[in-house]
Amino acid sequence: MSLSTVIVALNSQTLRKYEPEWVKIEMEKKRLVTDPVCGMKIDPDTAYSKVEYGGHVIYFCSRTCEEEFKKKPKKYVK
């Protein structure tokens, strides 16, 4: 294996982890919440639904997660 092949392989690993600064800034601007059932990070503005429970608004990514939460809400709220 030539040295150039090794260098290319190492650079590709480094670039895979690279996140441009503008991406970090955009993610910080956007307030993401976590669906308590599946753990998915979601934008509250585009969430499938929301439910008020225990004085908090809880957001869901899908009907499945919302229905699961409604069956056993105490399991998902800390």
Model confidence band, residue 37 (pLDDT cutoffs 50, 70, 90): very high
Write out the residue range of the structural domain in which residue 67 sits: 3-76
Closest CA to 27 of 47, 43, 49, 14: 43
Q: How far apart are CA 12 and CA 33, in angstroms?
A: 32
Q: How far apart are CA 54 and CA 46, in angstroms?
A: 22
- Tell me how many domains the chain contains: 1
Q: How far apart are CA 40 and CA 32, in angstroms?
A: 10
State yes or no: pLDDT of 7 exceeds 80. no
pTM score, whole prediction: 0.62
